[in-house]
Each structure stands twice: as structure tokens, then as C-alpha cells.
Structure 1
Amino acid sequence: MTTPYYDPTGTATAPPPDCPAHAGGHDGLRRLYGPEAEAQPYALYEQLRKEHGAVAPVLLHGDVPAWLVLGHRENLEVMSSPQRFTADSRNWRALAEGRVAQDSPLLPIITWQPLVAFADGDAHARLRSAVTDSLERISAHGTRRYITRYADRLIDDFGSQGHADLLSDFAQKLPALVLCQRFGIAEQDALRLGAAVRDMISGSATAIESNQVVEKVMRDLVERKTRQPGEDFASWLIGHRSGLTAQEVAEHLRHSLVASMSTVINLIAGTLRKVLTDRGFRGSLSGGTMTLPDSLDQVLWDDPPLAVVPTRWAVRDTTLAGQQIRAGDMVMVGIAAGNVDPEIRPDLTVSVHGNRSHLAFGAGPHQCPGQDIGRAIAETGIDRLLARVPDLELSVAEDELTVVGSWMARGLTSLPVRFTALRVEQQAGTPAPAVGAALPDAVPQRETAAEPGPARKPRRRWFGWLRR
């Protein structure tokens, strides 16, 4: 298991001489990328904090220079000051000067697109209103009913076996199924699309091909929903008064799906891992001193789904935490580093559950607009899993769990568990199709009587399943 020398759980030891915190590039700047740095990110953050304070110069792929914001207060300042730090990547000086290679892995992340994520001012207001207004039309009650239905079907798929990989069998599938249904994507396409999204962001040899798959699904969705609108996110974007073009709609659907799916997968897996491995965490839940929503916030503090967001550029020469930043410099939001800033968390062993001032969902004009649906998927899905499978336990030693990723995000490769096999029964005459199986009608139905029946209201203090 890859564990930082100084991590959010409070584990702290002196890094050895070959620690990534000591690995530098030209001009003595430390590289944020590469296997060594990515294996021990928190050790690197703390070394950078000691050397430079709340804002540190670093090197990205190709040894392209950038600034990493480490302070909690300074991160909020960057995210809340679009007049100083723009989201428009066309301002990046290194790119304009030809210092970014054509095959740089940074380009898919920062290349400008007609997206709300790359806009400021009036353009941002127009696009943001389309996204937020459309998201607000998604029924919270209906969403939780779909989450419960899909969670039950996934549990039924592996429940009779007495063992499962909660990453591949649950955490990766549930967000894909729920988000695709809410977006207006046919159920039989959901798991295939989810796999393409995961491959696309993994940087694998087939990532470009997977991205093309995702783009085609979105273009086809826009064409279909333009002809036959429904009660879904895609249709509401198309019909919004902001008058988004077909390309803008497709790009926002793609961006929303990718951002939501990847973060919710990590949130579900990270929370389940903490339940299965952290006795103090389990004890707080068992004793009723921490609710499931609170537990999600603890994970968002300690293990945010995104560690670094490289989407801000200085509009003009400015100063931040004593550092002289030039116009066009990349200034990266350090979510993970800011969440362990000693200024706000001097003792990382002290629980902060219930405190939502973490940076996981951003702040300012670009604060994540889909955080409510993301939290609902994680909360309701985990609730349903633990209620139906109360005796979950790891089927491998904790130190056999592996975390991999990049300088931007990290996640588990698997989460194998065992439990008492469930007796899965079907009601006579109503066999449930396997998750992802083709349905008679490829177009998701409106939220009418055809929608799954009412689900129980998610509970807040219900952790009797932990008292074992």
C-alpha cells in the first residue's frame, strides 16, 4: 500500500533521502509529476511548504514551471478572485511561448474548450446558468429512488457469492448508472460509457480512443434529445434560455459526466475503505457521534477525490503569499495540500467531520455545481450497501490495498471484501434484468408511474450494522 510519510490521518515520519520530496528538476525546482512524487504526494506538499510557504514553484510534465498553492486561505483567494486568476487557459504564457510539447499530457486537461470551466465574466455567467438551472430541475427524490434501485441490483449481482470487489462491482458502476439515467443516456450504454470514461482519464494507450467513444455518445445524445426531448439534464441544457449551441451542450455533458463520475467513484471507494480499515472512524459511526453525511466530509478533508486542479492563470503580475507571480503563470489549486494546512488543521488526528469548509468542491464562481447529486449517490449507495451487507470485511490485509494515480488524483485499484452470502430472491413474474442489460425502450422513461417504487428515506443515525 502506498502511504505518505505525512498524511491526513496523522501518520508522520521523516522522509528518507530518496523520498520524492528530495527529487528536483532544473533550477532546483521540485517535480510534481513522476512515479516518485506521485507515490508520496503529502510528503512532497510538506517539504514544499517548509521551503516556500503557502505558495510553491514546481515543475509539471516536460519540466514546465507552475505554482502550487498549499495554503487553505490562499487557495480560497485564488478560487474567489477571477479578476486576478482567470480560468481561461488561453492566458497560459508557457503555452503561448511554445514551451509545452505537442504531446504533453497537460494538453487534454488545459486546452481551451467552450466550457463553463474555462470561462469568466459574462461568458461564465451564461454557461453557468444553463448548467445550474438544469441541474436544479433534477428531482432529488427521484434521484435517490434510482440510486436505491441500481444499488440493489448491483448488490444482487454479487450478493449470493459472499465476496466482491467493492471498487469494480459497486463504486465504479453505481455512479455511471445513476448519472447516465439522469443525463438521458440509455441504461444499456451506461456501463460501457463508464468504462470509457475511466480509461480516458487513466492516460492509458487507448485513452484517446475512449475519449472518442465518449464524444460520440454525447453528440448522438444531443441529436436525439433535440428531436425527442425528455425530463433529463441533456434536454434541459438544450432547451435553456441561454441558447447553448449543440457543441456547447455536448461539451458540457461530457465534462459534467467525466468530472462527476471520477470524483464520486473515489468518494465511495474512499469512504468504504475508511469504514473497513479505521477503527476510530467506525467507532464514531457506531456510537452515533458521526452521521454518514458527516463521514463523507471527513473523507473529503482527508482524501479528496481531486488533489490538484490546474485551471487558473494569473491575469496580471501579482503577489500571493509573498511570491511574485507573473501574468500568464499557471497557479494550481492544491486541494489536498490546502486541506492539511497546519494553519487550519494543526493536529490531523482531530476529527473534522461535520465541517464543510474543505476545498474538495472548490469555491467562488467555479464551485462544483453538481456536488449535491454526487453526495447523494455516495450517501444513498453506501447506506444501501451497508444496510444489506452488514458484515463486510476486507478479504486481504490492509497493507495489500494499493493506491495509484497521478499528480492530480489518486485512487484504489481494488477493494476486495467478504461477507455472509445473501439469499437473493425475485418476486414472481418480475425478474430483474442484469445491470446494463438492454431494455425494451432505449430512451429512459419520464419520472411517472413507470419509475421505480418509493425507496426508504436515507437514515442519518442508523449504524447498528457496525455493532459487531
Structure 2
Amino acid sequence: MNAQPSEGPHLAEPDVPTACPAQHAGATTRLYATETTSDPYGTYSRLRKQYGPVAPVLLEGDVPAWLVLGYRENRRVLDNPGQFSRDSRRWRDWKEGRIAENSPLIPMLGWRPDCLSQDGEPHQRLRRAVTDSMETVTNRGIRRHVVHVADQQIDAFADTGRADLVLQYSEYLPMLVLTRLFGLPETEGESLVTSCAGMMRGGEDAIAHNDRIGRVLAELTAHKRAEPGPDFATGLIQHPAGLDDDEVQNHLRLVLIAAHTTTSNLLARVLQSILGNESRLGELISGEMTTTAVVEEMMWNSPPLAVLPGRFANADCELGGQRLRTGDLLILGLAAGNLDPEVRPHTGTAVNGNQAHLAFSSGPHQCPGQALGQAIIETAVEVLIQRLPGLSLTADPDQLTDTASTWETRLDHLPVTFPA
């Protein structure tokens, strides 16, 4: 784990017991438990019926949190950093020593010197460095990088006539594109995919996976200080905001994990939607439907990050009928909010052109990599369909399985055949 800054709260030793605040004493839903992750959408629905738009839940280690289920309540939290901070140094359970140093929640919730962990002017300074550097590398031709990687991936199975588009395409393609944009060796791609997955999954290996990502990016930062290049890492290093090595490394980590995890998940869902409906594939090939429209629909119905960590109450307040105390942890139910019956009573309603979904978060911390992720997905889908005419799903669409964690639900397999 990265060392915490001296001005921040110190983490407790691992043997310090977790204690739930009084208002969470009755919380019994463990978001990390198998019975919960096996049916996350069912869990969201049950919690909504029991508690309303904000529900008490327990995270790994039985750490208490409020899960925000309502669309309007999610918007209120995301759009009001003065009331709900992203700075986890305000987290009461952390400040009072109830979070173990080796908690698997630390990679997702711990404070770091990046723009995501701060509000106000410090956030603006660091975010500007990220958005400027990202725009520079994207403008240099993101499409050619995606086409190159997509062709490489497809070449590996094109002669066989069959493939698993999760394990052989969507799971690795975004990371291989990102390694090129970051200035990393392509050989790092596979192990970084494994570490990102392990960190998101949680459990006892989460810290080790997070530390490995940190070591790779620390080495990259040192290398690019000595040998600059036309890449994202060099852009951060040379930005007028004057980021130090720790800030550069942590922003590389932030963008790498967020961009890969969400883009690979969403790419798999888009391919599932297209191949699970023959008429949709035909409409896409004929130009009657665009990949952009399919991506938009998936961001409403199956956002790549189902639950977003986290926000912290700056003062005692009321939200969705619940009384929150200063320093309470909130986690944002993006998937639940998108399906909130208060704003979307009919989930089958067409959402074409409606970009009010929560998939990219909202407010000052809204995802800065939307254009990058969408460019990767749309190009990857286009190359795949052009290279493999006659692509056909070999499984019953209703029999495809998912694996869920607290934070996301990922498609396990997408088996297809095509003329070799």
C-alpha cells in the first residue's frame, strides 16, 4: 500500500476490530457476500423496498456504508462536493482507527495524491493535468492504436473459426491500447489486467495486486523523467501544473485502472448486446443503428461500474430518509440509480439520445476519459465486425453468466463462431 501522507489520518493496525456506528447496527446486507454478488440487481431491488433510496450495508470486514440507490439521491451526492466530499481523510471509521491497514477496501477508498481524492482547487489543478495530457494523446490518433491492437488480437484466433470474445478480445484489448498510450512495454499488459481484476475483486490479494500496479507505474515515471516520449506519462510529467513523482504515479494508476476496468467491461456488454440479437447485428452492419447508440443503451442498463466508491458526509444531514453523521461513508449505486423506478418506471423504454445516465458519474469528479473509452469501444467493435463477417453467438443469450463483486458485474464468456 502507498504510504499515507503525514497530514492525513493514520490507518489502524490490522488487529483493531471493526465497530459499526449506531445507525448501522441493524445492517445485515454484506455487499461482498456470495449470496449478494450472485444477484446484485436483486439485492438492489430488495434494499430499495426495505429502506428506500438510501440503504445501510456492510463492506468487506463488515465496514459500514450507505448505499445510494435512488437516481436523484445519487445526483445530489455527486453534484455537491461541499456536502459530500471525495476526500477519504474525512472518513470517520478511518480517522477513529477502525479500518485495518491491510483492508481490501484501501485500494478503492484510501486517500492518494490524485485528483479523485481531493476537492476544490487542489482537485482542479490535478484534474487539469489529467484532461490536458489525455486530450493530447487522444488527438494523436487513438483509432490507429486500437486498430493495431484489435488486429493483433483477432489474428490470434481468426484461422480457428471460433473464439471467446471476453477472454480473447474485450478483456485485454483496452489494456494493450493503454500500455501504448502510457509508454509502457506491451509485455506488461497481461499482468496488469490480472492485477486490475484482483484489486477490483477484493479479498486478501487486493493489496498485493494494488502494490504491483504501483511498482510498475513508479518505474515508468522514473523512466519517463529520464527519457520523455509522446505519451500520457510524459504529458503528466511536463504539465505546467508541476506534478511531483508521487502525483504522476498515482494519476497513472487512477487512469489505468479506471479506463481499463470500465472499458473492457463495457466492450464485452456491447458485444453481448449486438451478438445476442441477430436483427441488431444486421442493423449495425447496414448502418441503421450505430455502435454509439448501443454503447449508450448499455451505459443505462448495465453500467461498467455498478457501484462507485465513495463519498463522505461533511456534516450531519438527511439523505433519502436516512440520517447521516459527519464522516459517514457513502457508496454510489450507479446501476441501481439508472434503473430507479422513480425516474425510469419502464426499463425497456428506449434511451437513444438520452445521456443523463450515471455511468460516468457526475459533478466535478465526472469521468474525464469518456471520449477515450468510447473511441476504444467503437473502433474495437467496428474492426471485429469488418474482420469476421458471419460472426455468430454459439450460446443461448439467456445462459451467459456473470461474476460480480461489490463494485462491478462482469461477463464471464462470449463464445462465437465465424467462417475461418
Q: TM-score, normalised by structure 2?
A: 0.89
Query: Shift of residue 235 of structure 1?
Result: 0.4
Where do residues 278-357 of structure 1 align in structure 2 (5 Å cutoff)?
A: 278=277, 281-282=280-281, 285=284, 288-357=287-356
User: Structure 1 residues 50 and 279, CA, compared in 2 at 3 Å: closer, same or farther?
Assistant: farther
Residue 103 of structure 1 and its aligned partner are, at CA, apart by 4.0
d(CA) in 1 for partners of 2:61, 2:84: 23
Matched, 1:257 2:278: no
Q: Distance in 2 between matches of 1:28 and 1:221?
A: 43
Q: Which runs of 5+ in 2 are unaligned?
A: 1-23
Cα distance, 1:30 vs structure 2: 2.9
The match for 1:366 is: 365
Per-residue CA distance 1:322-366 (angstroms, 9 max, x = gap): 322111011111100000011221111122133211101111110
Q: CA deviation at 1:278?
A: 3.6
Q: Are 1:169 and 2:129 matched, yes or no? A: no
C-alpha deviation, 1:280, in angstroms: 6.7
Question: Aligned residue for 2:218?
Answer: 219
Report if aligned partners of 1:293, 1:379 keep a CA contact under 8 Å in 2.
yes
C-alpha distance in structure 1 between counterparts of 2:312 and 2:205, whole Å: 30
Give the whole-Å Cα distance in 2 for the aligned partners of 1:76 and 1:282: 34
For residue 208 of structure 1, report the CA deviation from its aligned partner: 4.1
1:105 matched to 2:104: yes
Q: Matched residues in 2 for 1:290 and 1:350: separation? A: 17
Shift of 1:44: 1.6
Indicate the residue corresponding to 2:379 in structure 1: 380
Q: What does 1:141-152 align with in structure 2 at a 5 Å threshold?
A: 142-152=141-151
**Pair 1:268-2:267 in alignment:** yes
1:46 alignment partner AA:
S
SS in 1 for 2:310: coil
In structure 2, relative to structure 1, the CA distance for the partners of 1:213 and 1:322 (3 Å cut) is closer
Question: CA 1:106–1:189 in structure 2 vs 1: closer, same or farther (change >3 Å)?
Answer: closer
User: What is the count of residue pairs matched by the alignment?
Assistant: 397
Q: TM-score by structure 1 length?
A: 0.80
Larger Rg: 1
TM-superposed deviation, 1:81: 0.4
Contact 1:298–1:354 (CA under 8 A) maintained in structure 2: no
Q: What is the RMSD computed on CA atoms of the aligned residues?
A: 2.0
Corresponding residue for residue 157 of structure 2: 158
- Out of 342-351 and 283-292, give the one that drifted further: 283-292
What are the ranges of 5 or more consecutive residues in structure 1 without an aligned counterpart? Answer: 1-24, 422-468
Preserved CA contact (<8 Å) 2:85 2:312: yes
Residue 141 of structure 1 deviates from its aligned partner by: 5.7
**Paired amino acid for 2:196:** V
Moved more, 25-34 or 347-356: 25-34
Structure 1: which amino acid aligns with 2:302? Answer: D
Aligned to 1:196: 195
Question: What is the correspondence of 1:10-49 to structure 2 with a 5 Å cutoff?
Answer: 27=26, 29-49=28-48
The one-letter code matched in structure 1 to 2:80 is S
Q: Deviation per CA, 1:34-68, whole angstroms, max 9, x where unpaired? A: 01111111112122222222222222223322111
**Partner of 1:309: helix, strand, or coil?**
strand
Structure 1 distance, partners of 2:56, 2:282, is 41
CA distance in 1, matches of 2:340, 2:133: 35
CA distance in structure 2 between the partners assigned to 1:229 and 1:279 by the alignment? 48
Rounded Cα–Cα distance in structure 2 between residues aligned with 1:188 and 1:103: 29
> Any conservation in 1 of the 2:107–2:199 contact (CA below 8 Å)?
no
Q: Distance in 1 between matches of 2:393 and 2:208?
A: 35
What amino acid sits opposite 1:339 in the alignment?
N
In structure 1, give the amino acid aligned to 2:75. L
In structure 1, what is the equivalent of residue 128 of structure 2? 129
Distance change >3 Å, CA 324–CA 251, structure 1 → 2? same
CA distance in 2, matches of 1:32, 1:357: 26
